[in-house]
Structure 1
Amino acid sequence: MRRIALISAHTCPLLQPGSGWAGGMNVYIDELGRALAREGIGVDVFTRRHSRDVPETVVVEKGFVLHHIEAGPLREIGPERTHRHLGAFADRVVNQIRQTPDTSLVHSHYWLSGSVGLRVASLLGMPLVHSFHTLGRVKDRNRRSDAALSTFSRLVAEEDVIEGARCIVASTSAEKEDLVGHYGADESKICVAAPGVDHDLFTPGLKAPARIRMGWPDVPTVLFAGRIQSLKGADVALEAYLRLQRRIDRTRLVIVGAPSGSEGVRELETLQQRVKEADLVDQVTFAEPVPHREMADVYRASDVVVVPSRAESFGLVAAEAQAAGVPVVAANVGGLRSVVPEGSGGILVDGWDPEVWAEAIASILSDHELAASLAESGPLHAETFSWDLAVERIVDVYRQVA
């Protein structure tokens, strides 16, 4: 196996995580491409061209090439509108791959790319490996009451990809259970391969210098990092913080992220208005996303990282925060159960009741022994998520299906 094609139709892996439609999946594809290239496997990533300013081809590093394929408007348009242009996108990907005859396998990411992957793999006579990253039926199960349900086209596409792919890569055993339980997937086609964490970057460090570098005051700080949308639970983080004020004085909440999806701008405005109503403008900071490599200091400058997602196939923020030695309070859902096992680097919370979340956060901020224990055990557990292990497992999958 000399070369593979990775497909990420709706979002470029080099875009800033934490805003728009860019998140942990973007980091995953970027890191996976680099790691495979270091193993001597050539990687071509195909993504829809989202701007006239981006070049058609980007050599990310030796052996890892990103291709911007023109299909639809030259701007970010989101998953549902991207769906209209998948046919043209797929045909142009096929033409591109035919120019590199040593490509032997297609690995698609997210449901949109899965539809592309089925067409590309079929036309080229290649096996398809697919990673969902998020499943529509799982997301719908815990959605906030005012959030939209997954579209019919998405649910049908997910079923088609599960049926047509040679192998489905699940990030955790919980995602595998969801694939079998909610979609009737053939268990023998599913392999579990957890994403990795960059342990050269995300390491424990001193809090005070990190706060100086970030320009943050030296007070107990709660961090939420993620896209601003109901799925990620920034509303839960804020409501929990408002209740935390009754328990502990002089704390701070930092929300690092930008609006995502059609609901994102309204979601952010609602959060900001809630902060004004509570007269906590000086204690709650809304910060723009920072480059992924700068997130290590963001974690280190915090005392607790909250991950109140309503659905997660993995939970990269939780894994990175633990690697940086910061206690995590996470929702007891999906992959977060594997990423944050109870008492090892963090606390799992059932449901999204802000009072319960506030109590969990307060237990860490008010108990220095507990905080120190979680900060010490977190990096040890996070070592189980490494890119060396992830790539070893993924390459094994590729070789089995190629």
Structure 2
Amino acid sequence: MSHASILHLTDDTTPGGVMRVIDNILNSKYLAKTAKHRMAVVKKNQLILPTAGVDVIVSHLALNWRNFAARARLRAMHPNIPMIHVEHSYTQGFVAQKVLNKTRFFAMLRSAFCLFDRVIAVSNAQKDWLIRRDLIDEDRLSVIRSSVELSGFEALPKPRTQARVFGLVGRLHEQKGFDIAIRAFRECSGPDLRLKVFGDGPLRDELEQLAYCDPRITFHGHCDDPLEPMRSIDALLMPSRWEAYGLVAREAQSAGRKVIVSSIDGLQDHISDGAIDVHDHSISAWSRAITQAADAVDKNRRTKKAKPRSGATRFEAEWEKCLESV
């Protein structure tokens, strides 16, 4: 699809993983060789396509019953334009934790996915769940794991051989399970251990109150520079209750940091790349994982050196292949 016009749609420009992934696509010099990628923000389900024309629409939009009519209208208005949807949100863990009427929810997803020529899962675990639940035909489903430019993370100095500073990075929200990590860290002995919390969100006051009695735990707010948290930690904790992929885990691994994840949803994809998995969300399990990481001496942990890339990254190659398929 040479020099095609690709329009990426989003309805949420909040700083975070989705916007960083879209920015990575828009700024890719490799993808720009064969297509022009643009972004449009959909507000109140209203969208008018650019007059210059669009060859492919890529949806990064939320799917639910409230906006289903608007998504169907978009499809009806542009029946001849191939449409791709990237499912950044829904997972098995989300459904288990947050969905009461699962039959109705699955009906919505099946109906919404039918509006698109292709759907992209952002992790292998999410793909397996979508197929297992018969939410989409496998031949219309691709997997492209979320990614950003990683050379800055690869170039960071090597961390300590023994983890002393642990980090939580992300939105302070129920999903991320930061309350679990804070309670577990408080159970760990070691006056030289530290837990740094990077991010903001609706649970900040509650989490600060939870950590109030432990001066080893500090809050640093949202960082515009994603490299900043990685510079100051030796290990990343991700006790998420649900997670489609977990981009920050990939960044931490690129920076040579230890990564400890709950074995849920897309976080399972990082285990094969070296992340340490915790099989449940109990305080005792996470306390043990933190203690073991702090006690372990890892002389071989390395930071990858950034190298100039002459060709496409895996992320770019997979996007190119997906766009060619429609």
Is the pair's TM-score, using the shorter chain for normalization, greater than 0.5?
yes
Q: In 2 relative to 1, CA 206–399 (structure 1 residues): closer, same or farther, beyond 3 Å?
A: closer
1:257 aligns with 2:196: no
Q: Which has the higher helix share?
A: 1
SS in 2 for 1:241: helix
SS in 1 for 2:120: strand
1:336-363 deviation per Cα after TM superposition (whole angstroms, max 9, x unaligned): 111232xx53311111112111211221
Q: How many residues align?
A: 312
Is the CA contact 2:124–2:266 (under 8 Å) kept in the aligned structure 1? yes
Q: Aligned partners of 1:149 and 1:203: how far apart in 2?
A: 42
Q: Aligned partners of 2:180 and 2:34: how far apart in 1?
A: 44
1:310-321 to 2 correspondences below 5 Å? 310-321=241-252
Residues 31-40 or 389-398, more deviating: 31-40
Q: Aligned partners of 1:387 and 1:272: how far apart in 2?
A: 43
Q: Aligned partners of 2:113 and 2:157: how far apart in 1?
A: 45
**Residue 289 of structure 1 corresponds to which residue in structure 2?**
222
Which of residues 149, 153, 162 is equivalent to 1:198?
149
1:251-282 deviation per Cα after TM superposition (whole angstroms, max 9, x unaligned): 111111111xxxx2xx2222111222xx21x3
Which of residues 100, 106, 116 is equivalent to 2:57?
106
Q: Aligned partners of 1:171 and 1:235: how far apart in 2?
A: 26
**TM-score, normalising length: structure 1:** 0.71
2:167 partner letter: L
Q: Aligned partners of 1:111 and 1:136: how far apart in 2?
A: 13
Q: Aligned partners of 1:154 and 1:109: how far apart in 2?
A: 19
Cα shift at 1:117? 4.8
Q: Aligned partners of 2:120 and 2:7: how far apart in 1?
A: 15
2:283 partner letter: P
**Residue 277 of structure 2 corresponds to which residue in structure 1?**
348
Q: Aligned partners of 2:166 and 2:101: how far apart in 1?
A: 31
Is the CA contact 1:171–1:314 (under 8 Å) kept in the aligned structure 2? yes
Q: Aligned partners of 2:255 and 2:285: how far apart in 1?
A: 25
Is the CA contact 2:92–2:126 (under 8 Å) kept in the aligned structure 1? no
1:272 aligns with 2:208: yes
1:3 partner letter: S
SS in 2 for 1:249: coil
Is the CA contact 1:196–1:390 (under 8 Å) kept in the aligned structure 2? yes
1:67-106 to 2 correspondences below 5 Å? 71=43, 85-86=44-45, 89=46, 93=47, 95-97=48-50, 99-101=51-53, 103-106=54-57
Q: Aligned partners of 1:252 and 1:340: how far apart in 2?
A: 24
**Residue 117 of structure 2 corresponds to which residue in structure 1?**
166
Deviating above 6 A after TM superposition, structure 1's stretches of 4 or more consecutive aligned residues are: 150-154
Q: In 2 relative to 1, CA 399–122 (structure 1 residues): closer, same or farther, beyond 3 Å?
A: farther
Seq. identity, %: 21
Q: Which runs of 5+ in 2 are unaligned?
A: 306-310
SS in 2 for 1:198: coil
Q: In 2 relative to 1, CA 306–379 (structure 1 residues): closer, same or farther, beyond 3 Å?
A: farther
SS in 1 for 2:62: helix
Q: In 2 relative to 1, CA 301–345 (structure 1 residues): closer, same or farther, beyond 3 Å?
A: farther
Q: Which runs of 5+ in 1 are unaligned?
A: 18-22, 49-70, 72-84, 211-218, 381-385
**Residue 5 of structure 1 corresponds to which residue in structure 2?**
7
SS in 1 for 2:52: coil
Q: Aligned partners of 2:187 and 2:139: how far apart in 1?
A: 46
1:38-95 deviation per Cα after TM superposition (whole angstroms, max 9, x unaligned): 33411221114xxxxxxxxxxxxxxxxxxxxxx4xxxxxxxxxxxxx32xx1xxx2x3
**TM-score, normalising length: structure 2:** 0.86
1:119-170 deviation per Cα after TM superposition (whole angstroms, max 9, x unaligned): 32331221211111111654031x3xxx675899865542222222111111
1:232 aligns with 2:176: yes
Which of residues 359, 374, 398 is equivalent to 2:288?
359
Q: Aligned partners of 1:110 and 1:155: how far apart in 2?
A: 17
Is the CA contact 1:332–1:351 (under 8 Å) kept in the aligned structure 2? yes
2:191 partner letter: D
Cα shift at 1:108? 0.4
Q: Aligned partners of 1:328 and 1:136: how far apart in 2?
A: 21
Residues 301-310 or 176-185, more deviating: 176-185
1:26 aligns with 2:19: yes
SS in 2 for 1:6: strand
Q: Aligned partners of 1:152 and 1:353: how far apart in 2?
A: 29
1:139 aligns with 2:94: yes
2:195 partner letter: L
